[in-house]
Amino acid sequence: MDISDWRDKIDGLDEQIVRLLSQRAAAAVEIGKLKAKINVPIYEPMREQTVFDHVRSVNPGPLTDAQVQDIYERVMDVMRALQRQQP
């Protein structure tokens, strides 16, 4: 494969990632609504640690576990912000 083939592959992977992030965001919105109903805080550090532990445990590489966690820290930040925006 040449560089344009690899870039095409990356474009397709990015499309899949965006679809999955959108699905994750929709689930986070629903969780945020439930949290609001039962008066539970949006930020739950123990749950976030569980997510980080889980994604590190399923990481096949080549990203390091620390890199995967860095990515998920940002994902979780965005999901919390999305939950806070909901009525």
How many other CB atoms are there within 10 angstroms of residue 21's CB atom?
A: 13
Confidence of residue 86 (pLDDT cuts 50, 70, 90): confident
pLDDT per residue as tens digits for the range 30-66: 999 999 999 999 999 999 999 999 999 999 999 999 9
CATH match for 3-85 among 1.10.10.10, 3.40.228.10, 3.40.50.2000, 1.20.59.10: 1.20.59.10
pTM: 0.90
Six-digit token string for 10: 């990356």
Q: What's the whole-number average pLDDT of the chain? A: 96
Indicate if the alpha-carbon torsion angle 66, 85, 29, 19 is positive or negative: negative
Q: What Å distances lie between residue 9 and 17, 63, 84, CA to CA?
A: 12, 18, 35
The alpha carbon of 56 is separated from its chain's Cα centroid by a whole number of angstroms, namely 13
Domain locations in the chain as residue ranges: 3-85
Q: Contact at 8 Å (CB) between 86 and 33? A: yes
